[in-house]
Amino acid sequence: MATTTASEKPQRSARAQAFADFCKRFARNKGAVVGLVILLAVVLLALIAPLLYPASPWQMVQRPFLPPMATEGFWFGTDTLGRDIGAGLAYGARISLIVGIVSTVVALTIGVTIGALAGYYGGYLDDALMRFTEFFQTIPNFALAIVLVAIFQPSTTSVIIAIGIVSWPPVARLVRGEFLSLRSREFVQASIVLGQSNGHIITRQILPNTLSPVIVMASLMIAQAILLESSLSFLGLGDPNTMSWGYMIGAARTVIRQAWWMSFFPGVAILLTVLALNLVGEGLNDALNPRLARKGR
């Protein structure tokens, strides 16, 4: 692929070559590949949920407390009201992924903006923004998320916003650090001399160079967000109209001794998804920061 385009568009070829290198380095981490496969499986499950289970996951379809494998078509058993655990798992994957991704986007938007401004301009603005960031960092994540959701009334939107709000400070600190080190490099100095505007320098010159660590962090943040969402739902602070894994475990908690499968399967689903995201994050780290990664080996 790289060879055919190389002669015509040298720039694209360089990118393609970089991408191939990236893939190779990523593939070298076997764990990351396994993680990616699991993750793709979860995404696929979320996408085809309505095809697998045309009925709503809330629908009471069989008698309650049916153990797994006991009846054809109900491989994961049923819950206290006779709802299909399998349907819950499939639809729960959707909400977990949506919340994980959207809240991470929210957190990145806040974190990158604040980090970039603080790191680029420095001085009083940096001080002010960093004190503001520290203020958020001193409050325990989960406690703050509970308070926010309780204030805004539990719904998917409020859960996403709450998770976004509690997860941005590390991003801000990371981006600020990158900006601080890149700001004094020659290519930035050159841009200033060329008379490029601050906005242009931030978004076009420095930001693209900070992306690799941010991408790695983002993949781990999605995992974190899924865990947070599950914990909130477990405590009954999730959207009461959306089936989620955390809700399923929370509802199963009181009957755990009669019906282990009700909490076991969603628990495994959360475990696998979070594990997969962490493995992928590690693989990305290896692929994007080859020098660091080699040092580790």
Partner 1 sequence: MLRRICTLAAVAAATALATPAMAQTSGGTMNVVIQPEPPGLMLGITQNGPTQMVAGNIYESLLRYDTELNPMPSLAESWEVNEDGTVYTFKLKDGVTWHDGEPFSAADVVFSADVFLRETHPRLRVSLQHVETIEALDDRTVQFTLKQPFGPFLGIFEVGTMPMVPKHIYEGTDFKNNPMNATPIGTGPFKFAEWEKGSYIRLVKNEDYHVEGQPYLDEIYWHVIPDAASRSVAYETGKVDVLPGGSVENFDVQRLVDLENSCVTGKGWEYFAPHAWLWVNNREGPMADKRFRQAIMYALDREFAKEVIWNGLGQVPTGPVSSKTRFYTDDVRQYPHDPEKAKELLAEMGYDGTPIRLLPLPYGETWQRWAEAVRQNLQEAGIAVEMVATDVAGWNQKLAEWDYDLAFTYLYQYGDPALGVARTYLSSNIAKGSQWNNVEGYVNEEVDRLFNEAAVAFPDSARQELYTEVQQILVEEVPVAWLLEIEFPTIHRCDVKDLVDTAIGVNDGFRNAWLDR
Q: Is 196 one of the binding residues for partner 1 (CB under 8 A)?
A: no
Shortest approach of partner 1 to residue 81 CB, angstroms? 6
Q: Is 287 one of the binding residues for partner 1 (CB under 8 A)?
A: no
Q: Is 236 one of the binding residues for partner 1 (CB under 8 A)?
A: yes
In the chain, the amino acid numbered 203 is T
Q: In the complex with partner 1, which residue's Cβ is closer, 78 or 167?
A: 78
Range 21-39 burial, b when 16+ CB lie within 10 A, else e = ebeebbeebeebeebbebb
The position carrying tokens 């290198």 is: 21
Q: Is residue 257 within 8 Å of residue 263, measured between CB atoms?
A: no
The site that binds partner 1 (CB under 8 A) totals a number of residues, namely 22
Q: Is 156 one of the binding residues for partner 1 (CB under 8 A)?
A: no
In the chain, the amino acid numbered 211 is L
Which residue from 5, 13, 17, 59 is in contact with partner 1, where contact means CB under 8 A? Answer: 59
Q: In the complex with partner 1, which residue's Cβ is closer, 60 or 98?
A: 60
**Considering all CA atoms of the chain, what is the largest pairwise distance in Å, rounded to the nearest integer?**
74
Shortest approach of partner 1 to residue 61 CB, angstroms? 10
Choices 5-13, 51-59, 165-173, 219-227; region in contact with partner 1 by CB under 8 A = 51-59
Residue 112's SS3 state is helix
Report the alpha-carbon angle 216-214-178, nearest 5. Answer: 130
Q: In the complex with partner 1, which residue's Cβ is closer, 163 or 201?
A: 163
In a 10 Å sphere around its CB, with 0-12 CB exposed, 13-18 middle and 19+ buried, how is residue 1 labelled?
A: exposed
Q: Is 282 one of the binding residues for partner 1 (CB under 8 A)?
A: no
Interface residues toward partner 1, by CB under 8 A: 56, 58-60, 64, 80-82, 150, 153-155, 236-237, 239-241, 251, 254-255, 257-258
